[in-house]
Amino acid sequence: MIIQNTSSPLKSLYIVGGRVLIVLKSSEFGTMSPLALFERYQEKFERVSFAYILYALDWLYVIGSVELTKQGDISLCS
């Protein structure tokens, strides 16, 4: 669910997705492996499960903000 009234707003896909974009933009080439992205997210922001990161990546892919490279990395769309 994108927004829930019962859980922490910091775990909404809007917040997690926005923070994922911040992490990707801070990388040198705007590309990271999913595991490196997860680890960097945990360093910069509060801890969330890997599932939340994957849900956010799914949402960002659907709206055209990220794409999957041939090597399996996550890349910002230009």
Q: Give pLDDT, residue 3.
A: 52
Let me know if residue 14 belongs to a domain.
yes
pTM of the entire structure?
0.85
CATH label of the domain that carries residue 27 = 1.10.10.10
Dump pLDDT digits (tens) for 7-16: 667 778 889 9
Are the beta carbons of 23 and 40 closer than 8 angstroms? yes
Q: Alpha helix locations (H) across 1-78?
A: 13-26, 34-44, 50-62
What's the number of domains the chain is made of? 1
Domain span at 42: 9-76
Let me know if residue 25 belongs to a domain.
yes
Dump pLDDT digits (tens) for 35-54: 999 999 999 998 899 999 99
Q: Is the pLDDT of residue 72 over 50?
A: yes
